[in-house]
Structure 1
Amino acid sequence: MDNLSHSLVGLAVGELVHRTLPAEADPAQHGIRRRLMLVACCAASNFPDLDLVLSGLLPQPLGYLLHHRGHTHTLLYGVPQALLLIALLWILWPGARTLLRASNAARAGLLAAVGAGFLLHLGMDALNSYGVHPFYPVDPRWIYGDMVFILEPVFWVAGAVPLAMMLGSRVRRGLLLAALAALLVFFTARGFLHWGSLIALLAFGAGLALLQRGAGKNGKRALCAGLLGAVAFVAMQGAAMQRGKTIVADRLRLLDPASTLLDTAMTAFPANPACWMFVSAERDAVAGTYRMRRGMVSVAPDVLALDACPAALSEGARERQAQIVINWSQEMSLARLRALRAGNCRIDAWLRFARMPALGPDTGFDVRFSNTPAGNFTTLPIDGANSQPCPGGVPAWGYPRADLL
């Protein structure tokens, strides 16, 4: 997920932890505890993304592909990260150190906020098609949620509105809420959000604002409602995603009954359960080939047909009222893929990330992230790699397409 989503949800959970704990006897200490819960949970919700500093350990694009969402995004390595964050808060924040020495509630809250923050980061990152492998080294396989767009405004509204309504100043409250609404309108005007999604998001935000307004000074109804609303949205996306995969499987079975569908990667549109991008991987063992297809699917074409999906994220021509369209397809040699994997150490490392690997004459790229002639951030040159030293320290993540290798 984007770091704005991580931060806002982390802040909301930190505030909820604080409001759930018994009050501190000293009002000043109570205020310090609130700030500590907010900072701790927000920082923990972003801490794993510090793995970006490790991307220089391997030549690009392998460094980013194999180290981002890497070791710091595992349950095992989450423990030392949590301990490091708590140590930094203890060392760098004298007021928090004094509070923690005196208050059992603050100590319990800090553990809850930091633990929740790290679990939120892993859980939210697991919701999209990029994937995580949280159980490494016990299980090195990638896990893909395929449910939520990587920048999801539902999370922004769920976290930001209750927090904004808790501000004492009406001016600051109004400015923050207006800025959030303006951001949503901007993305809608730019073609990233459907107008129906905008209306639903504004209604969701208005409901949370009214809940918090009537909740009293220490109320937490809006926080709980916002988080529950986000969970309900994820559940709805999960059901829509499964429906989309079924539609894709049915269409591909008609197009090529001889091929075996191995996987379908689904990418949601923001705040939109109807519109989806998909990339499929098929294998024809008899022909010795595999095929990647990329297209769009609407799980509710009577409500929102493909030609009505947000234009900025749509690709290619779309028939009016169509349920599914395939915009790109490429058939490739299994023998070539396997030979490159066996004889080219860079391709072998790249295949530890590439869920939907497509091979051109000179490059390979993961079709999940576009199929443009220029490639995308996953594009790896094939030429001349055999004459270069193999990169050291390649993480032992599982091969997403082991079924092709």
Structure 2
Amino acid sequence: MTAHRMQRLAVVGLATATLTSGAALLPATAAPTTPTTAPAAASQPGRPDMDVRFSTFNASLNRGAEGQLLADLSTPDNVQAQVIAEIIQRNDPDVLLVNEFDYVEGGQAAELFRDNYLAVGQNGAAPVDYPYYYVAPSNTGVPSGHDLNNDGVVGGGDDAFGFGLFPGQYGMVVYSKYPIDTDGVRTFQNFRWQDMPGNLMPTGFYSPEEQEILRLSSKSHWDVPIRVGKHKTVHFLVSHPTPPTFDGPEDRNGRRNHDEIRFWADYVGSPQDSSYIYDDNDGSGGLRPGARFVIAGDQNADPLDGDSYDGAINQLLEHPRVNATNPPASQGAVEASELQGGINLEHVGDPQFDTADFAEPPGNIRVDYVLPSKSLRIQDSGVFWPVSSDPLSALTGTYPFPSSDHRLVWVDVHLPHQG
């Protein structure tokens, strides 16, 4: 969700991968500011302890018109992009998912953000180098040809396969300091909702023709294998389910959100759980038993508050293969909840775990997650939400936000030395 509570989207198309070298780093031009809420990254690539920082950040770098993000990133002086880049630099993740980053074919926007912003020190923060990235099409904004919202008119963002005003709006990108196994990437953009056994699709709302073509993912689901060291691979499982709002009593978005989250629960489950799954290249089944993974993204679901369908995120938080211990937290979220009051004071969940600063309803809730497999030991974790007395709080701010209504979330994991 966003502060304006604008709906997320989805698009269709063939998945493409991009593996590219990073640009040379440029020196910082301002005196460093000492952060008090952004610990240094756990390690650098190649260190023998193999501690790796995985992160997710809904950066709200989407734009209202096709081509606008490309134009904004083509120069190094877009203020929002500078602030987003500084947040990333202050937290220095090794592997990063950015949600709400418009898809541009060929990875042009991803490269411009990397080269013009991440590789340039922002406000004294050290540049960060991501030699590898991955982008692929999104279901957002791709016309379905059907009246999916039943308003009597075919067309517009709400009738796309995923809500969006143009194809690729609200897409995503993965950046990595480690090589990406592009031959091993799996995408699930075209997986049909009805092909999930026991799905929650409101069949009374959608016509038989619509049920036949509806896709599960509002953006896409990607399995991006990250090669850490010589013999270690971590599957970065990324997505951005639709928010469980902007619908009627049929709860079509809440149900879809639940099943988009369930997809990963089944994917990392037993071979029986994942036997129905197929990818965009006709591969079948889920993740092999024993494989290391990190599930990341804006899941648009809080375990206790908000309007999720039937505890949707608990499908991951309580999964036997997911390490949900030591949840990322911040004192800035606690302070914001107290200062803003309102519905926040009625929430059941502990505000220290909030990751988004939303208008009411639902108020501030936890929607962004980095969830490793149990084979990965969590060393540390956090939410970048500085308290107001911290100079870095200017990067997150209050509405209208200088960066995003979401906060960057990170988890440091330790990879075993063998295997």
User: TM-score per shorter chain, which class?
Assistant: under 0.3
Which of these two proteins has the greater Rg computed from alpha carbons? 1
Q: Given the two structures, how large is their TM-score scaled by the length of structure 1? A: 0.27
RCO comparison, higher one (Cα < 8 Å, 6+): 2
